Homo-oligomer: A and B are copies of this chain.
């Protein structure tokens, strides 16, 4: 009932031919990009590079056995998190799945705390309790980092609900993968968001695969996954996620719809991950051709593409690019050293942060026994 060959074909079409210069600059004319000053463009580029170096460093640490469990890297998709988060205003919020390092850095989380979390150290952003899949930073309007596929979609809908309830002009960008569209709770969320006119933007980061399963083998659809919004009478759009200008242009329209009209949008952005589903994924090159991966890297890498554009725009020079590279590497290496030097949490920590009432003794009128170890 599943058919691999057709899939391969779909994928081939997806990728070739490489985009020409004009296509590369798609979205440049949109106000949000026109209004971008040089520093702003450099910052976009820098953040993408910082994400990439952070993750490459994390992958090395994983291979050295310093990190265990799952490590889902975002390499190849940086333009989406960076493009979307670069437009966040005071009351805009972000929530995503387990492939969450890029978004965490894009909202401004500190790499030391992020790397230490991967190492399971007490200095981690979640004190070593959440790990790679469960990053959080409420102070940065960043609500995770969720391990259950699509589990974050009603939460993101609820963040938008709270904003509307409080009368704040903001929205929630709720990121998810292409495989998450087949979880029922996502559809329940779509219906609630449109029915109640909530300022939420569901961003499908369509990298063509859910683990080893290509889109064609997991989802029934005609033209796009985003079209599923149509059944809910919800606004939807698709875009090329490799192009950060286009990402910003597309999400800007959705943000305006959320801010000005308190309406949701389903936005599907095509992207690609070069590595396996997680670093432990030994099949990375089995369910797709080496060639497919190579050609995507060469023709569609969001960082290379944006670099080309910025060089052509004379915003970037090879020297500046080198400096950006170097400080990004240094930042990542320092983060790894910091994580290495940091201590593990003490054993007592295991039962902290379970209940607010336990962590804030006397503040709640709670009695009785709440942990049952003896």
Contact = CB atoms under 8 A, between A and B. Distances in A.
Interface of A: 1, 182-188, 190-191, 194-197, 217-222, 227-234
30 contacts: A1-B195, A1-B196, A182-B187, A182-B188, A182-B191, A183-B184, A183-B188, A184-B184, A184-B187, A184-B188, A187-B187, A190-B220, A191-B219, A195-B217, A195-B218, A195-B220, A220-B232, A220-B233, A220-B234, A221-B231, A221-B232, A221-B233, A222-B230, A222-B233, A227-B230, A227-B231, A228-B232, A229-B231, A230-B230, A230-B231
Contacts of A218: 195
A327 B315 CA distance: 89
A47 to B, nearest CB: 34
A242 B182 CA distance: 34
User: Which of A185, A197, A231 has most chain B Cβ within 10 Å?
Assistant: A231
Nearest to A182: B191
A195 B215 CA distance: 11
> For chain A, what secondary structure do more than half of its interface residues adopt (helix, strand, loop), or is it mixed?
helix
Contacts of A231: 221, 227-231
B219 A195 contact: yes
A193 to B, nearest CB: 8
Given A228-B228, A230-B230, 4 more contacts: A184-B185, A190-B220, A195-B220, A229-B231
Nearest to A186: B184
A110 to B, nearest CB: 37
Contacts of A182: 187-188, 191
Contacts of A234: 220
